[in-house]
Amino acid sequence: DVKVTQSSRYLVKRTGEKVFLECVQDMDHENMFWYRQDPGLGLRLIYFSYDVKMKEKGDIPEGYSVSREKKERFSLILESASTNQTSMYLCASLPGTAYNEQFFGPGTRLTVL
């Protein structure tokens, strides 16, 4: 079974802190994604990566950056956390073939105080 793990289930940070959310997948998938999930807004794509060191902006990249130094790991970085970044963050991975399902991690609920 494909496994996507995220470093924390719950995280509490203070405004202005630098925050790292880590995601690891064990199936050698080319593509990885970061979403945020908010009530009434569904899932919105922040960034995605289709190869090591490659990244593309999604729909809401402002205030975020990403890093993919190894194929299995995709990190989301909040350079200076703000209260409006309080949300559920979901990581997903996808094989290179079109039309396959994305595999999701359990999510990290981030609260910024």
Partner 1 sequence: GDSVTQMEGPVTLSEEAFLTINCTYTATGYPSLFWYVQYPGEGLQLLLKATKADDKGSNKGFEATYRKETTSFHLEKGSVQVSDSAVYFCALSDPTQGGSEKLVFGKGTKLTVNP
CB-nearer residue toward partner 1: 80 or 100 = 100
Tokens matching residue 68: 């993919």
Is residue 72 helix, strand or coil?
A: coil
Exposed e or buried b per residue across 50-61, where buried means at least 16 C-beta atoms within 10 angstroms of its C-beta: eeeeebeebeee
Chain positions 13 to 32 lying near partner 1, rule: CB under 8 A, are 31
Q: How many residues bind partner 1 (CB under 8 A)?
A: 22
Given 4, 19, 46, 112, the residue binding partner 1 (CB under 8 A) = 4
1: contact with partner 1 by CB under 8 A: no
Beta carbon nearer to partner 1, 35 or 75? 35
Residue 60 Cβ vs partner 1, minimum distance, rounded to whole Å? 13
Residue 98 found at the interface with partner 1 (CB under 8 A):
yes
CB atoms within 10 A of CB 80: 11
- Helices then strands, counting H and E runs in the chain, come out as 0, 11
Integer CA distances (angstroms), 42 to 28, 85, 89, 108, 113, in order: 27, 15, 12, 15, 23
Note whether 58 binds partner 1 by CB under 8 A: yes
- The contact set with partner 1 (CB under 8 A) reads 4, 31, 40-45, 48, 50, 58, 90, 92, 94, 98-99, 101-102, 104-107
